[in-house]
Structure 1
């Protein structure tokens, strides 16, 4: 990679979204960079494992309290609903962005993972052959502030590749 005068190679961009307005803003950057570098974009959404997160938050094991089967069923249903809402959200963002930039996003290139957002994003980076991560800096709402804290900060600290974090313009 190194050496003087070497240009960074950007062929594959990982765009991590929490479906917030900030993530939407970050998508416009991802699309613009993909066009400039003729790169592909992989879209990643991590469904926080709410049971795990709430258990950590409350200090006891919810799973034993509720019964794992019930929670599992809930997870499967929730997952397909999320996939659909992500695709719809991305389609609508693409339409908006297309008018500005032209949107070369492959809607099949969507990865949905379950678990802790920082951990899942880092795992995805390590498993894939990405050159750059693009993401918004924070989610929305109180729950996100409590649960997610700063996902962007965690990813920046742990990512082996460059991370572009995007704030909502104030």
Structure 2
């Protein structure tokens, strides 16, 4: 029986979700510090959410109303991701994914598709336990991710 710890799996791909918040920026800076240590590349993923129409206006919208301008939504999101990468991940090999959908679902799906070895994401410093117990994007990702998740509080 060996007393040596098992070798850790290599970290080659780090997924960094962003909603463009200070939390996301802080987590990206951690990923920027970690990536060179492992020779890892970074994938930034942003899931743009379509706002649901207010209940009182939903009944007034005809069924033939035009769909939201998806091209404009995606273009705006891509521009935001480009700025995010430029400001927070300088000097690191980065690819980006912009999608539309529920952030927690899209983050996990991107991690699966891209074979992520680690997800680095921000979380609120205050009430981390409360958020993990009562629900958050972080909680959902931790529960469903195919790889380890590093939660970075803003204060860290």
Equivalent residue for 1:143?
Answer: none
Unaligned runs of 5+ in 2: 125-134
Q: In the alignment, is the contact (CA less than 8 A) between 1:137 and 1:150 conserved in 2?
A: no
Question: Cα deviation per residue 1:66-118 (whole Å; 9 max; x = unaligned)?
Answer: 55652332x22121012112201221223xxx5xxxx2133xx1100111111
Conserved 8 A contact 1:31-1:105: no
For residue 32 of structure 1, report the CA deviation from its aligned partner. 1.0
CA distance in 2, matches of 1:66, 1:137: 39
The answer to whether the Cα contact below 8 Å between 1:63 and 1:71 also exists between their aligned partners in 2 is no
Kindly tell me: are residues 40 and 154 of structure 1, through their superposed partners in 2, closer, same or farther at Cα, counting changes over 3 Å?
A: same
TM-score, normalization by structure 1: 0.73
Q: Distance in 2 between matches of 1:116 and 1:27?
A: 20
CA distance in structure 2 between the partners assigned to 1:85 and 1:152 by the alignment: 21
Select the residue among 95, 100, 111 that pairs with 2:97.
111
Q: Specify the structure having the higher radius of gyration (Cα).
A: 2
Instruction: Count how many residue pairs are aligned between Structure 1 and Structure 2.
Output: 144
Structure whose residues are more often helix by fraction: 1
3-state SS of 1:8 partner? coil
Instruction: Report matched runs for 1:1-170 at 5 Å.
Output: 4-51=5-52, 58=55, 62=58, 65=61, 67=63, 70-73=66-69, 75-94=70-89, 103-106=91-94, 109-138=95-124, 150-169=136-155
Distance 2:5 2:17 in 1: 31
Which secondary structure does the structure 1 equivalent of 2:93 belong to?
Answer: coil
Are 1:137 and 1:152, in contact at CA under 8 Å, matched by a contact in 2? yes
